[in-house]
């Protein structure tokens, strides 16, 4: 099951994942023209920082999150701005996002919150169903690399990542990276829906 208290975390202001700045690995990916402005889905959009950054660059974005308070805050950031950006509360494992198919899906630390292999496989299958043929999914995933730590994102091995994603999508790139502001090791995982 997904984390039972995401909304409680937003209510309490316990948001170590919400840096208030666009994710540097996403910024680099976009500025290197590895993806052009297109119809985009952000899963686990939180307060909308990455979705809004993408929309400011011409992407048509739907940001979804399971926490209604996160979406409330994202909509408050969007209010009065003329951007192709929308936010919706949605449990991505249980329901499909409207407005697809999408050519680009992004998640920063959403895939890795699921402890069960079956849930990670279902997440990947949901991404595949949301993507247009040839569409890309960029996922930033907590990694088992690096020294032991008591806090930070859940840790997944490269094998766990591959076993969850490859049945549904083709992995294009899987490399070691780091979560900005945390120093925690991450996987930069780029996958494509097979044609």
| 110 is a domain residue | yes
Poorest-pLDDT segment among 12-16, 61-65, 128-132, 185-189: 12-16
CATH of the domain at 124: 3.40.50.150
| 165 is a domain residue | yes
Question: For tokens 């279902």, what's the residue?
Answer: 122
Q: Has residue 134 got a pLDDT over 60?
A: yes
pLDDT, tens digit, for every residue of 142-152?
888 877 777 76
| 166 is a domain residue | yes
| 15 is a domain residue | no
Q: Has residue 169 got a pLDDT over 70?
A: yes
**Residue 4 confidence class, pLDDT cut points 50, 70, 90:** low
- Residue 96's SS3 state is coil
Q: Has residue 185 got a pLDDT over 60?
A: yes
The pair phi, psi for residue 25, each rounded to 5°, is: -70, -35
| 92 is a domain residue | no
| 70 is a domain residue | no
**Residue 41 confidence class, pLDDT cut points 50, 70, 90:** very high
**Residue 16 confidence class, pLDDT cut points 50, 70, 90:** low
- Total structural domains within the chain: 1
Residue 2: what pLDDT? 44
Q: Stretch 82-107: mean pLDDT, rounded? A: 95
| 118 is a domain residue | yes
pTM of the prediction? 0.91
- The DSSP string of 99-149 is T--EEEEEEESSGGG--SHHHHHHHHHHHHHHEEEEEEEEEEEEBS-SS--
Structural domain of 180: 33-41+51-60+80-85+97-192
| 153 is a domain residue | yes
Q: Distance from first CA to last CA of the chain, Å, rounded?
A: 31
């Amino acid at each position: 099951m997904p984390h039972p208290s995401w909304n409680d975390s937003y209510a309490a202001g316990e948001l170590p994942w919400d840096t208030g700045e666009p994710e540097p690995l996403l910024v680099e990916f976009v500025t290197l023209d590895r993806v052009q402005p297109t119809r985009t889905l952000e899963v686990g959009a939180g307060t909308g920082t990455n979705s809004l950054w993408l929309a400011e660059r011409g992407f048509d974005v739907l940001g979804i999150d399971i926490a209604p308070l996160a979406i409330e805050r994202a909509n408050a950031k969007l209010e009065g701005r003329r951007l192709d950006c929308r936010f919706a509360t949605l449990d991505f494992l249980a329901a499909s996002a409207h407005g697809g198919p999408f050519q680009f899906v992004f998640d920063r630390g959403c895939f890795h919150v699921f402890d069960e292999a079956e849930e990670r496989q279902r997440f990947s299958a949901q991404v595949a169903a949301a993507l247009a043929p040839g569409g890309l999914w960029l996922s930033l995933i907590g990694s088992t690399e690096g020294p032991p730590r008591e806090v930070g994102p859940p840790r997944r091995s490269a094998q766990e990542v591959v076993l969850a994603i490859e049945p549904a999508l083709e992995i294009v790139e899987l490399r070691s990276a780091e979560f900005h502001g945390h120093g925690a090791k991450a996987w930069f995982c780029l996958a494509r829906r097979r044609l």
